Amino acid sequence: MDQPRLEFVTELRVRVAPALEIGQLAEGQRRIIEIVGGEFAGPLLRGRIKSGGADWQLIRSDNVAELDARYALITDTGVTVYVANRGIRYAEPNVMERLVKGEPVDSSEYYFCSTPSFETDAPDLQWLRQSIFLGIGMRLPNLVVIQVWRVL
- The 10s digit of each residue's pLDDT in 24-42 is 999 999 999 999 999 999 9
Rounded Cα distance, 21 and 147, in Å:
27
pLDDT-derived band at 96 (thresholds 50, 70, 90) equals confident
What is the enclosing helix (H) or strand (E) of 54?
Answer: strand 54-59
> pLDDT tier at 4 (50, 70, 90 boundaries)?
very high
Q: In this structure, is residue 107 part of a structural domain? A: yes
Residues in Cβ contact with 108 at an 8 Å cutoff, skipping those fewer than 6 apart: none
Total domains present in the chain = 1
Residue 71 domain-assigned (yes or no): yes
pLDDT tens-place string over residues 104-128 = 899 999 999 999 999 999 999 999 9
Is residue 127 assigned to a domain?
Answer: yes
Please give the Cα distance from 39 to 143 (Å, whole number): 11
User: Rounded to an integer, what distance in angstroms lies between the CA atom of residue 149 and that of residue 151?
Assistant: 6
| Inside any domain, residue 142 | yes
> Which range of residues forms the domain containing residue 13?
6-151
Decide if 1 is inside a domain: no
CATH number of residue 143's parent domain: 2.40.160.20
39-48 confidence digits (pLDDT tens): 999 999 999 9
SS3 99: helix
For residue 133, what are the β-bridge partners?
150
